[in-house]
Amino acid sequence: MYQFPIATIRTRKKADGIPSYLVQIRISRDKTTVYQESQVFARKQVAQPWAKRRETELSEPGAIERAKRQGLTVRHMIERYLMKAEKAGFLVRATGACQRYQRGPLGKVVDAGISQKCRSTMRGGA
């Protein structure tokens, strides 16, 4: 079974001398690291609760597999949609728009990175 997540908070000095706090979370199994995550914070009071919350999230069953998931780009999702629509015999009228999204900056966005702002941009809103 997996070892419980262990968070380490390290203080680092930036070039201007202001400290920042690096939180590292590592999970091991049979003396091998199976998952590692790190985040930098400006204040220690923000870093500590994040580390505790993230440790709790990662200790749940299946959390490590979800955290390791790479995700799909918008381009890949559109390509899959077009292939399935073609196989099903549907006429895809929005092919031109789909190809513009694939080539544009939204085509490189990973599904986990899509926010409400991205969604409104995709619909043509502001």
Specify the pairing of strand 19-29 against strand 6-13: antiparallel
Residue ranges covered by each domain of the chain: 6-68, 74-122
Q: Give residue-wise pLDDT tens across range 10-30.
A: 999 999 999 999 999 888 878
**Residue 27 pLDDT:** 83
Residues in the chain where the model's pLDDT stays below 50: 118-120, 125-126
Q: What pTM does this model have?
A: 0.53
CB 111 within 8 A of CB 85: no
Q: What count of other Cβ atoms lies within 10 Å of the Cβ of residue 16?
A: 5
